């Protein structure tokens, strides 16, 4: 996993370098710390680098810090933002909050408050990245068309979702939605494009990936929670679909 990248933007050299020295002295997260003297310099830097935390002064010539934040979002970058201002103006603070700024600090910035703000912002960025990683792992087009299905199949999908950790068959689900098993099987594949068995496997693996990425539970317990009778069979199925074991999947995801 790469070190977080912090960019400090301030048109006042003394202020800019002072903030950088504070972070260099602290730097518990081994962050890469860079500075820019203008918003345009910052935007040019972000064309080439992915910034995790942008710390910007509000009042700068040619472009304000809030305008810089707006342009940053258009670069397809999603850093977290800290705004620093010499002015205690409610309007600025209100606008900053609406733009997703995680902290608004007034100059002169106290060392403890600054370090605490940076630490919290990096934690927020890490949480945001982890959430995005889990969301990406959950993507499966074959599982995302439930709302357009006939009502019996919507009920079937809900039943499956609520009982993933239990043992049940196609007959059990068909009985739950009051359909003949053979008809239910044909209808399911016709509407979903995959068989009931394939759908169930994908749902269980989707849930398994969520648990792998958000917990340290052992593989055997994850297998049990997602409806597999043995860890060996779970690992076999997981590897068949993902090309790697659950443990390797978790390890590589966290390293990335």
CB 52 within 8 A of CB 79: yes
pLDDT tens for 99-131 read 889 898 988 889 999 999 999 999 999 888 888
**How does strand 80-85 pair with strand 53-57?**
parallel
Neighbouring-strand partners of residue 85? 106
The count of residues in the chain is 256
Residue 256: the pLDDT is 65
pLDDT of residue 90: 66
Q: By C-alpha distance, which of 60, 64, 57, 68 is closest to 108?
A: 57
Whether omega before 108 lies within 30 degrees of 0, making that bond cis, reads yes
Yes or no: say if 146 and 159 are a contact pair by the CB < 8 Å rule. Answer: no
At 209 the three-state DSSP class reads helix
Task: Indicate the CATH number for domain 5-132.
Answer: 3.40.50.2300
Confidence at residue 56, expressed as pLDDT on a 0 to 100 scale: 95
Which tens digits make up the pLDDT trace of 157-190?
999 999 999 999 999 999 999 999 999 999 999 9
Query: Radius of gyration of the chain from Cα atoms?
Result: 25
Whole-structure pTM value: 0.69
Q: What is the mean pLDDT of each run of 10 residues along the chain (256 residues)?
A: 89 94 85 94 95 93 91 90 82 78 89 93 88 80 82 94 94 97 96 94 94 93 95 96 94 80
Task: Write down the domain spans for the chain.
Answer: 5-132, 141-255
- H or E stretch at 58: none
Give the pLDDT confidence score for residue 184 in this predicted structure.
Answer: 96
Contact 57, 29 (CB under 8 A): no
pLDDT at 200: 96
Write down the CATH superfamily of domain 141-255. Homeodomain-like (1.10.10.60)
- What pLDDT, on the 0 to 100 scale, is given for residue 115? 94
Strands (E), the chain: 5-9, 32-36, 53-57, 80-85, 103-106
Residue 161 neighbours by CB distance under 10 Å: 12
pLDDT of amino acid 185:
96
* Structure tokens that stand for 230 in this block: 């043995």
Residue 39 in contact with residue 67, Cβ under 8 Å? Answer: yes
| List of long-range contacts for 226-232, beta carbons under 8 Å, 24+ apart | 226/164, 226/165, 227/163, 227/164, 227/165, 227/166, 227/167, 228/204, 229/167
* CA pair distance 207, 256, nearest whole angstrom: 20
């Amino acid at each position: 996993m790469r070190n977080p990248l912090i960019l400090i933007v301030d048109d006042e050299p003394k202020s800019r370098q002072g903030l950088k020295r504070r972070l260099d002295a602290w730097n518990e997260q081994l962050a890469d710390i860079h500075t820019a003297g203008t918003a345009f310099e910052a935007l040019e830097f972000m064309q080439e680098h992915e910034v995790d935390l942008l710390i910007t002064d509000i009042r700068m010539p040619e472009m304000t810090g809030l305008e810089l934040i707006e342009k940053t979002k258009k670069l397809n970058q999603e850093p977290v933002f800290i705004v620093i201002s010499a002015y205690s103006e409610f309007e600025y603070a209100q606008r900053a909050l609406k733009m997703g700024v995680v902290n608004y600090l007034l100059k002169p910035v106290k060392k403890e408050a600054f370090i605490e703000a940076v630490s919290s912002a990096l934690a927020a960025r890490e949480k945001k990245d982890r959430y995005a990683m889990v969301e990406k792992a959950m993507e499966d087009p074959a599982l995302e068309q439930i709302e357009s299905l006939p009502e019996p199949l919507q009920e079937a999908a809900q039943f499956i979702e609520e009982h993933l950790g239990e043992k049940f068959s196609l007959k059990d689900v068909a009985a739950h939605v009051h359909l003949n098993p053979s008809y239910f099987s044909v209808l399911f594949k016709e509407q979903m494009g995959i068989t009931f068995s394939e759908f169930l496997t994908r749902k269980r693996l989707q849930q398994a990936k969520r648990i792998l990425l958000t917990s340290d539970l052992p593989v055997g317990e994850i297998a049990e929670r997602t409806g597999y009778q043995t860890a060996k069979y779970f690992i076999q199925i997981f590897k068949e679909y993902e090309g790697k074991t659950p443990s390797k999947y978790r390890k590589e995801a966290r390293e990335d």
